[in-house]
Each structure stands twice: as structure tokens, then as C-alpha cells.
Structure 1
Amino acid sequence: MQQATHRDTHRIVMLAFPDAQILDVTGPLEIFSRTARWTEEHVEAGWTPYSVEIVAERAGSVRMSSGLEIMASRSCFDVDRADTLLVAGGVGHRQVAANAAILSWLKGAAARSDRVGSICTGAFILAAAGLLDGRRATTHWAYCQELSRVANCSVSADTLYVRDGNIYTSAGVTAGMDMALALVEEDMGRAIALRVAQELVMYLFRPGGQSQFSRQLEAQKREGPFGELQLWMIEHLGQPLSLDALAEKAGISSRHFTRRFTAEFGMAPVAYLTHLRIERARSLLETSRQSAKAIARETGFGNEQNLRRAFRKALGVTPEDYRARFGSGSAE
């Protein structure tokens, strides 16, 4: 999508519904409305690059899952298209995903809109309308396995947001704001997106591939030998950690270890270990001044070449580019 000019007013339409998560609705819309206000005040008076609107099955008050109510300006059936059409998530998503009339409207409106996106479990509504067929997508980490079962799409289970063509999906709640900020950067450029993020006291541009949750917290919640193994792996990432060593630590024969580990975690041990190492390396690049060589040794990649290869494959950037964008200090 081309960046906006002073002649553009980009229409953002958000579909809300009873028992939606209120931050799924208001969080992204605040990003766009704050961008519009900032632009009018600091760039060009009279230029309103974004307009925002909430719609629902029926116009009027819509009760959110928190008990608070928001106002839908009109029925979604009165909306033919939008520049960006967004769908909220929340505990009421199942009812919407089973509503044939809304799904039919959504499919038609999406075909006429420039961009379509979902926040959190709104991905299930897009999937029910067939909009995720053959695409990559994400949702809140607690619902990723379910989305994989019911949708004809490839689910990225540990990312903040995913873009596939003109379809955008985000993880839970505040990740919708990260996705909205990335859309502002697409439309308005990085400088304006940066100023909006500063006004909202946000960390700017958490990358879409950033983890939705802490592996260490996950390990602390998991019971049994695999929870202990997770913590042990996190604490020993700099070691070789062969399959035999992992199996021995878990108290399981090497013959059955890979099968049981994969069933427990949804990925093979080597792939999971790589995830842990990348997560740790990202943290060090963001917060420390260690060199890439030292980080590669500490995280078990061994050398800079292996670290760079893993980063390019997982995140699409080099460790140096990642640090330049997200790091808090220079390397030693």
C-alpha cells in the first residue's frame, strides 16, 4: 500500500460484537485516531489521514466482556467497504463465527477493502468467512492449536502479528496495537509512527515475530519432568544439549524422547531448542552490549555465522539489524 498523501482520509472500520474484548476494539482505533490528531496538529491543519468507526450487527450500544458498553455508529450491513476493515476478538467470537449473515457480509466487504485484519480471536471470524484459507495467520497463544484445527491456514503460534498479502492477524489484546502501529508506519512513514508511539508511551514496533509470552514463565507453569527439563534447557543454552543429554535429563529413553517431547510441545526438541536460543539471543541484543560473537557462544549457536543464519530464518533480519532497531546500546 502506498504511503498516504495530504488528500487521503483512510477509513478504518472495526467490527465489534457482544462480549468482545474492549481493548481489541479501542486499542487499535486509538492508534489511528491519535495519528490523525497528531498529524493535524503538527503536520498539516485540516489533514485527517484516518477516520475510525465502530460497527456491529445492529447500531447502538454493544456490551463488552468487561461489562462496559461501546456505541456502534451503524449496522455492519450498511458498510460496503473500508480502507482497513478490522475484526475484534473476545469471548463472544464463537457466536459471530456461527452467524451466517455477518460472515456473508464480511466476505463481501473484505473483497472490496484494501486491508483486512483481526485482533486476537477475531482470527476465528476471518477463518469462518474463508478469508484465511491457504494463508499464514496468528491469534492469542492459548487459541493457536484450536485455530490450527478449525481453519485452513498455517498458524504462527508464537508471533505478535502476521501479514499475508492484504490480510493481517494479531495475537491477543495489546498485540493489536502493535499491528496497528505497523500499519501506520506503512501508511505514514516511520517518523510519524515513532511520534505517535512516543505520545502513547509505547515500545515502538515490536517486531511481528516477537514471542507472545515468556518461555521461562511457561516452564514454571508446566508440571512434571518436561517442566523441569524446560527450565534446565533455559539455564544451559550455552551447552551442546544433545538429544541423548535431554532424554537423560527428562528420565526418558532416547528411543521415545523425541516422540513424547513433540507431543508435549508441538515441535521437535531441536526446533524447540532453537526457539529458546533465538529468544535468549534477542533479549541479549536488546538489553546488553555483548558482541554477536559472545552472544553466539552464550546461547549455544557457537559462532556468529550460525547465529546470523538462525536469525535470518526465524526473523528475516540479521542480529546486527535487529540490535540497531531494538537495542538499547552499542555492542562492545
Structure 2
Amino acid sequence: MEVPHRVGMLVYPDAQLLDIAGPLEVFARTARWLQARRCLAVPAYSVELVAASAGPVATSSGIAVVARHGFETEEAFDTLLVTGGIGYASACRDAALMAWVARHAARVPRLGSICTGALVLAAAGVLDGRAATTHWDYLDLLAAQAPGCRVDREAIYVRSGHVYTSAGVTAGIDLALGLVEQDWGRAVAVAVARELVVYRRRTAAQAQVSRFLEAERRGDRFGELQLWILDHLGGDLSVERLAQVVAMSVRNFSRQFRARMGETPAAFVLRLRVEEACRRLEEGGASLKDIARQCGFADEQALRRAFRRQLGVLPQAYRRHTTAA
């Protein structure tokens, strides 16, 4: 790159500070990493804030950020992101802001939103005919406000053409790392994630609500059972054992489980075991034999069969892809 890739972030009163700082720090850290490791003469990225008018903008945390540009300045950004936060509703009613978003959405090469920033894009008509996501607690609102949008209720972030939307708050970091990977490759994205001490870079398709949180939200015997399963993935999780844990007959348990969970107990357990095996493979170190045993598979061959059936790849290939640096 001969000039920095300009990343702009649209901010407004009562925006979420982490929605702003998290993604922008990814780009800034990437620029520093590339200058130090690749000896780039020019920073790979520059980051700038834009608001209705240049100057300080108060976030919902009480900390103010300073916008360099106002709407009167027609800046040409390479990537434009829209923050989320509790101020999104007021932003959606701001005619000048809506007009500015719609105008720039039509010409910026890459447009994205963090968390409830997707509702701002929806209000500006940007998401019509596109797939999108947002914070899990606002998915129904996004579907209601943008009936022409295909709402993805699971993904960490979604790409639809040149428009990217991310799930809640810290998912903006995952989106930013995904954009860095597009620009500079996976090795750079992984290295930056490590410098930021991000536990791991989540893929776009990874569920935004963890199985533990999902189980805790249920608040019924099946939620308690789900937590129990997650703590006993390496043990006996036959339908007989699960029915015993919740003190139900096998027949009644199987029927109620499928009605409430949308799949059979065996399919549910297998999915959780594969997800846990994925996590352990991404962490590296453990052998396939150990991972198979820890996740409740009979042997390595059973692990391979489950991966091929559910993910379409073998465990070794999955590990190489997710740990390459």
C-alpha cells in the first residue's frame, strides 16, 4: 500500500466506547505490527472519527472521544464503520446523520457496523435485500425495522456484498480482525490477535451466544441438563444416562428434549462434542487421541468421522487452518 488504508468510524452521542476503541485498536495495532515486522515505510492503516461536527462526543460510559471530521467534510474512507451503543435510537431519528450514512454507503468500498450500529444502517436503508446481524438482544428489533433484511441470528459477523455487520460489542474486534485478514492474510491477523491478548480470533460463522450462556438463559431442567452435559462431555452421555439425570423415563425424555431443543439428544451431544473438539484443536498442543478421549469420542476415527460429517473437514486440516501463523 502506497498510502494508508483510511478507516473511519461514525460516532454519535451515547455511543458504546468499546464498540469504537476495540475495532480501531485492531487496525492501529496492525499498522504498528506491519511497520515493525514488515518494515513498511507507510502505515497500513489510519483511523479517524467522524461525527455530526468535529470535536468531543460523549459516549455512554461518560468518556468523550474526539471526532476529527464533521458531516460538512466529505472524506473518502476506504472502510467506514458505524458504532453501536444506547444512542443508536436517537441517531436513527437524526435526518442529517441518516442522509450522511446513505450517501457514503453508496460509495465507500467497505462499510460495516458494530453491535446496534446495524440498526443505524437499517434506518438508512442500507440493509434492504442484505443479510445482517447485530447484538443478540436486538435481533428481533432489527428484523422488525428492516423487513427486507435477512437477519442471521447466530453469526459473530456477516458479510453481504461490501457491507459487514457484527454482533454485540466485542464482536467488533472479530470483525476488524477478519478485515485485516482480508487485507494482509491470516498470519498477520493471528499475530495481531495475540498481541492484543485476544483468547482466539472467532470465525464469522461462530455462534455469538456461547452454549453455557444459552443454557443459563433457559432456566429450566433442560437448561440445567445442558450445563451438566457441557461439564461431562468426556463421560457417558447416552440417552439413558441423560434421562436418569433429569429423572424422566427414556421415552418421555426423548420426546420432550426434541420438542424443546429442536433435535435428538444424540445429535445435540455430538454437536457439543465437536464444538469442544474444535476449541481444543484451536488451542493446539493436545494430540488427536487425547482430544478424542476428553470430548467423549470412542477413538480418533470416531472424531474424524464426526468432523467430516458435521464440518466437511478432518481434524488435522481444521487445526492447520485455525492455528496457522
Which bracket does the TM-score occupy, shorter chain normalised? 0.7 to 0.9
1:26 aligns with 2:24: no
1:100 is aligned to: 95
Q: SS of the residue aligned with 2:106?
A: helix
Note the C-alpha offset of 1:196: 3.0
My pick for the range that moved more, 298-307 or 274-283, is: 298-307
1:74 is aligned to: 69
Residue 153 of structure 2, aligned match among 149, 153, 157 = 157
Report if aligned partners of 1:229, 1:250 keep a CA contact under 8 Å in 2: no
Residue 167 of structure 1, aligned match among 135, 159, 163 = 163
Q: SS of the residue aligned with 1:308?
A: helix
- Measured in 2, the distance between the counterparts of 1:215 and 1:58 equals 43
Q: SS of the residue aligned with 2:112?
A: strand
TM-score relative to the length of structure 1: 0.79
Structure 1: unaligned runs, 5 residues or longer: none
- Measured in 2, the distance between the counterparts of 1:76 and 1:89 equals 18
Report if aligned partners of 1:296, 1:303 keep a CA contact under 8 Å in 2: no
- Measured in 1, the distance between the counterparts of 2:316 and 2:4 equals 37
Superposition pairs of residues 83-122 of structure 1, within 5 angstroms: 83-122=78-117
My pick for the range that moved more, 122-131 or 228-237, is: 228-237
1:197 aligns with 2:193: yes
1:51 corresponds to which letter in structure 2?
Answer: S
Report if aligned partners of 1:82, 1:112 keep a CA contact under 8 Å in 2: no
- Measured in 2, the distance between the counterparts of 1:188 and 1:15 equals 24
1:282 corresponds to which letter in structure 2?
Answer: C
Q: SS of the residue aligned with 2:164?
A: strand
TM-score relative to the length of structure 2: 0.80
2:308 is aligned to: 308
Note the C-alpha offset of 1:212: 2.6
Note the C-alpha offset of 1:325: 3.6
Note the C-alpha offset of 1:275: 4.8
- Measured in 2, the distance between the counterparts of 1:86 and 1:107 equals 13
Note the C-alpha offset of 1:155: 2.7
2:288 is aligned to: 290
My pick for the range that moved more, 83-92 or 196-205, is: 196-205
Note the C-alpha offset of 1:282: 1.8
1:105 corresponds to which letter in structure 2?
Answer: W
Note the C-alpha offset of 1:140: 1.9
Note the C-alpha offset of 1:241: 6.3
- Measured in 1, the distance between the counterparts of 2:289 and 2:97 equals 53
Note the C-alpha offset of 1:268: 5.3
Q: Deviations over 1:270-305 (max 9, x none)?
A: 786665344223234335423499369826995633
2:59 is aligned to: 64
Note the C-alpha offset of 1:99: 2.5
User: Among the aligned pairs, what percent are the same residue?
Assistant: 45
1:62 corresponds to which letter in structure 2?
Answer: V
- Measured in 2, the distance between the counterparts of 1:154 and 1:250 equals 41
1:226 is aligned to: 222
Structure 2: unaligned runs, 5 residues or longer: none
Structure 2 vs 1, CA of residues 15 and 228 (structure 1 numbering), >3 Å: closer, same or farther? Answer: same
Note the C-alpha offset of 1:131: 2.0
- Measured in 1, the distance between the counterparts of 2:140 and 2:247 equals 25
Q: SS of the residue aligned with 2:154?
A: coil
Report if aligned partners of 1:58, 1:76 keep a CA contact under 8 Å in 2: yes
Aligned-CA RMSD value: 3.5
- Measured in 2, the distance between the counterparts of 1:109 and 1:141 equals 27
Report if aligned partners of 1:9, 1:51 keep a CA contact under 8 Å in 2: yes
Residue 123 of structure 1, aligned match among 96, 112, 118 = 118
